[in-house]
Structure 1
């Protein structure tokens, strides 16, 4: 938990530093308060005027973002795109909110918007939170180590052994503890996807979610889907989570990612799937190798 605390402290100090760059003797915040008040009453022209005047004294990323919103609501998409991009270039990284903010609804079409979103995602990738990523990676060892032991136990003793039961109890306790950590990170910082913590740490997050209980699967599905749409999470991981939810809800799976151990054959077999004829088409769309190749890889 020390590293999580360190992250919070660093963010706090950074925000203090940014605010210190604006001379409090100048009317920056007074102008922004008037702009915000005008925005709330629907007087977008007045909001634009005061927000532009405030640019003489400072330009917090939230200021630039809000100015983009004012222009959008006032029917000036070019200026709106310009200031949202400026906000991104000055540190704005909430790419997910860009897709939901009602103030920007009229902007979400055409190449300008696509370029803006690409800019946000690329900037997010460049500003990976390495401290948080390193902290998440500390959970990778236990996540992996005991599951590898399960595989060897299955082949040696089968599922009906005291050693197998004991190991699963240990794994279950680790899984519960790990998902609580991810819950805390989400509450403090938002969902730790590739854009926030990089590919390796995001993969660890996926494994922790994948091995959690059904309620956690359902809770995180929309977050992972949203991140995937933004290019901040891999399609393959969403496919695995989809199948896990379907399987645990007693439905057939879509992508054939979930397997069960067949003691009589001494190997993994596929759990029933929907529309098996087209399984490899679906798998290809989500970046998965053909099903037969997958089974061969797992069992060798």
Structure 2
């Protein structure tokens, strides 16, 4: 009888674990769908609905569990006119579990200007600055400061792209001039980063922090093709050592492939159409792209493309590739 009872409780325990695991998976699926919907509403400027979706997503999993979603939720709340909930999100990000420390980024984010009038803003910024200083205790301070400046220069003008495009149009002289400014800044930033790479190699976040490490990738991603080809092996080696993200390497590999007029591997590179919509540039074996993306930690194509309100269809993508190839053959033949 004793052994029967032990076996019975063992079976119950296994079944309970399976149920809990299944519930966690289901909650994760629902959470991802809510976040996807929140992003869609945000792009449509329906900030109240975006904020509502974020709130439901966080409630489902018991709170904010990553800085990206929490930060985007805070932006949605403030744009929806709910400063209190925006502050709640931002203060949640400063706690030890998430340890948000992007001081330079948040103070330059104009979306949060309505919060600046509150005394809570100074308290918030003080906490973020404290996190930044604690995290940077063992960093190379001079390099961290330099990368902070480079990061802000890289992102400052890019933050205005959407507003200029919405106001004047994708092919307007204003947006063209703005892109010329961005390319000039990219060239200046690359010269600085190139000197660092040549002297120190690809530095990890243990030396220059998460933002500094991300900045290395961003600036190389925005550099000329010859530089990207030259420093791609260095980044691959950095990934093997844990000093660079596999997801960042995938994005750079795709960009290089497309610039060399080859098919991309992970489907990260898009092209705009005259009407302002986008399409995915040709992918090698698109039937297996989601498997390749999953192997390096990227979300699937359907979730990725939802950021541009697009849908993913392997069959449609294959048709597009076939159309491009036929047009190319016609041109070559002529």
Aligning the two structures, in what range does the TM-score lie when normalised by the shorter sequence? 0.5 to 0.7
Task: Confirm whether residue 166 of structure 1 aligns to residue 177 of structure 2.
Answer: yes
1:137 touches 1:201 (CA, 8 Å); kept in 2?
A: yes
Match of 2:193 in 1: 182
Go from structure 1 to structure 2 and tell me whether the alpha carbon gap of 1:130 and 1:261 turns closer, same or farther (over 3 Å shift). same
Secondary structure, aligned partner of 1:260: strand
Name the CA shift for 1:138/1:165 in 2 (closer, same or farther; >3 Å): same
Q: 1:240-259, aligned counterparts within 5 Å?
A: 240-259=251-270
2:304 pairs, out of 265, 290, 294, with 294
SS in 2 for 1:269: strand
Contact 1:260 1:271 survives alignment (8 Å): yes
| Match of residue 292 from structure 2 | 282
Change (3 A) 1:288 1:146: same
Q: TM-score, normalised by structure 2?
A: 0.49
Change (3 A) 1:175 1:142: same
Q: 2:274 aligns with which of 263, 283, 290?
A: 263
* Higher RCO (CA < 8 A, seq sep 6+): 1
2:117 alignment partner in structure 1: none
Q: In structure 2, which of residues 151, 157, 161 is the aligned counterpart of residue 150 of structure 1?
A: 161
CA deviation digits over 1:213-268, x for unaligned, max 9? 0011112111111110011111000000000100111111110111112232x333
Show the 5 A alignment for 1:32-111: none
**Counterparts of 1:139 and 1:230 in 2: how far apart (Å)?**
24
Inter-CA distance 272–243: structure 2 relative to 1 (3 Å threshold): same
Secondary structure of 1:138's counterpart equals helix
Secondary structure in 1 matching 2:188? helix
- Distance 1:158-1:251 versus aligned 2 partners, 3 A rule: farther
In structure 2, what is the Cα distance between the partners aligned to 1:156 and 1:272? Answer: 31
Shift of 1:191: 2.5
Partner Cα separation in structure 2 for residue 231 and residue 192 of structure 1: 10
Write out the 4+ residue segments of structure 1 that deviate beyond 4 Å after TM superposition.
Answer: none
Q: Counterpart of 1:172 in 2: which secondary structure?
A: helix
Q: Aligned-pair distance for 1:195?
A: 3.9
Distance 1:286 1:151 in 2: 29
Count of aligned pairs between the two proteins: 175
Residue aligning to 2:283:
273
Query: Any gaps of 5 or more consecutive residues in structure 2?
Result: 1-135, 311-334
Counterparts of 2:137 and 2:296 in 1: how far apart (Å)? 25
Name stretches of at least 5 consecutive residues in structure 1 with no aligned partner: 1-124
Q: Who is 1:211 aligned against?
A: 222
Distance in 1, matches of 2:206 and 2:222, equals: 22
8 Å contact 1:147–1:171 — kept in the other structure? yes
